Structure 1
Amino acid sequence: MSVSADNRKLYRAIGHKLKPCVTIAGNGLSEGVVDELFRALRDHELIKVKLAIAERDERKALIENITAETGAEVIQEIGKVVLLFKKAGKPNPKLTNLRFAL
């Protein structure tokens, strides 16, 4: 399921104000990090993830692993920060970052 161009633009605008809620460093995608990504995506639907890895190729590979593991879609990638979206089955209106978007 791909996000439409209009929604992608809207999500980038919303994501501009967000702070990274998950940081991934040198240990990569450990089980705890994957669990935290699932929790954050389930609660917020749209999240920023900071990748504290110096090499660009390693960051690209890590982003591919994140999307494969979680099923999230990359909305935007700027430097060491990636904006991810995954639609929640029953979003919590108090937690979702998209409560005013649609």
Structure 2
Amino acid sequence: MLTGKQKRFLRAKANQLKPIFQVGKIGVNENMNEQIADALEKRELLKVSILQNCLEDKTVVAEQLAEGTGAEVVQIIGNNIVLYKESKDNKHIVLP
């Protein structure tokens, strides 16, 4: 569980990031969870964009992604979700 200070730190780092995944009409599936989990292992912090044609609510999508990948939801802003998961091999973000 992230503290408020840690979330604030991660939000500041995520401000410059571009979304590298998009959730569309079909929503979240197993393949997407695997790919996002692999990307989180490499990057630790990433943004996921929710397209306008997505049928599910953005909070539900964020919960599904966090549950499927084992990550923490840092922020939901607009149609973007920021996820963080500490990497085992490629650790480069040091939380305060």
Q: Structures share a fold, TM > 0.5?
A: yes
**8 Å contact kept, 1:47–1:85:** yes
Question: What CA RMSD, in Å, does the superposition of the two structures yield over aligned residues?
Answer: 2.1
Task: Tell me which residue corresponds to 2:31.
Answer: 32
Unaligned stretches of 5+ residues in structure 2: none
SS of match in other structure, 1:74: strand
**8 Å contact kept, 2:74–2:83:** yes
Deviation at 1:51, TM superposition (A): 0.9
Give the paired residue count. 96
Task: Tell me which residue corresponds to 1:88.
Answer: 87
Task: Tell me which residue corresponds to 1:47.
Answer: 46
Task: Tell me which residue corresponds to 1:6.
Answer: 5
SS of match in other structure, 1:90: coil
Deviation at 1:57, TM superposition (A): 5.8
Give the TM-score normalised by the residue count of structure 1. Answer: 0.80
The code of the aligned residue for 2:13 comes to: I
Q: Deviations over 1:16-74 (max 9, x none)?
A: 00000111111112232112111111110010000114579622211111111111111
User: Structure 1 residues 3 and 56, CA, compared in 2 at 3 Å: closer, same or farther?
Assistant: farther
For residues 43 and 14 of structure 1, the distance between their equivalents in structure 2, rounded to whole angstroms, comes to 16
For residues 14 and 56 of structure 1, the distance between their equivalents in structure 2, rounded to whole angstroms, comes to 29
Percent same amino acid at aligned positions? 25
The code of the aligned residue for 2:47 comes to: K
**8 Å contact kept, 1:53–1:59:** no
The code of the aligned residue for 2:87 comes to: A
User: Structure 1 residues 30 and 78, CA, compared in 2 at 3 Å: closer, same or farther?
Assistant: same
For residues 64 and 83 of structure 1, the distance between their equivalents in structure 2, rounded to whole angstroms, comes to 12
**8 Å contact kept, 2:22–2:49:** yes
